[in-house]
Amino acid sequence: MINILLSVRRPFSEKILSGEKKWELRKNAPRLNKGDSVTLWLYESGQYGTRGIIGKCRLVVTAGLRPYPPKGILEWTMKQACVTEEHLRNYLPCYVWGVQDPVRISTVPLSDIGMARPPQSWQYLTDKQEAILERRLASSCNWEPRKERK
């Protein structure tokens, strides 16, 4: 399993956790193989953010979006990403990260997983960091972590 810490500003972090925002826009994407399972841990950044890890979701797909998408694709992307046309056009070209199954957790400071600074956009997490976050998730919502298959 691949775990990624994703920096997201408010209000987008809340829109992801509510399920309203289904696509996150990024300038780059992780290199994935078919069948890779990816968990995105959401770090809420920015002036009004909690500046901690507040939830997780699943990365379901990444796809490139070119500078001049057809009108229907542009409108669909704006809706799924909860952005304006101006914002989207200024950000192109970019990657669309599909997100699903959001889960909120009690805020976890970066120091709890041995980090001093958040990633500017995203970064991979170690197995040890992921285990700390899964334990925190389990304690915050009485959720049982998935057992690894042997």
Of the chain, the percentage scoring pLDDT greater than 70 comes to 93
- Which residues touch 95 (CB under 8 Å, ≥6 apart)? 25, 26, 27, 28, 29, 62, 63, 64, 65
- Which residues touch 41 (CB under 8 Å, ≥6 apart)? 3, 4, 5, 6, 53, 55, 56, 125, 130, 133
Mean pLDDT is lowest, of 18-27, 59-68, 73-82, for: 59-68
Instruction: Tell me the domain boundaries of the chain.
Output: 2-63+96-141
Q: What are 128-150's pLDDT values in tens digits?
A: 999 999 998 888 765 555 555 44
* pLDDT of 79 strictly over 80: yes
Q: What are 112-131's pLDDT values in tens digits?
A: 999 999 999 999 999 999 99
Cα–Cα distance measured from residue 142 to residue 48, given in angstroms and rounded to the nearest whole number: 28
Residue 143, helix vs strand vs coil:
coil
Q: In CATH, which of 3.40.50.300, 3.10.590.10, 3.40.50.2300, 3.40.50.10860 is domain 2-63+96-141?
A: 3.10.590.10
**Single pTM value for the model:** 0.88
More confident residue, 132 or 49: 132
**What is the arithmetic mean of pLDDT over 39-68?**
93
Of the chain, the percentage scoring pLDDT greater than 90 comes to 73
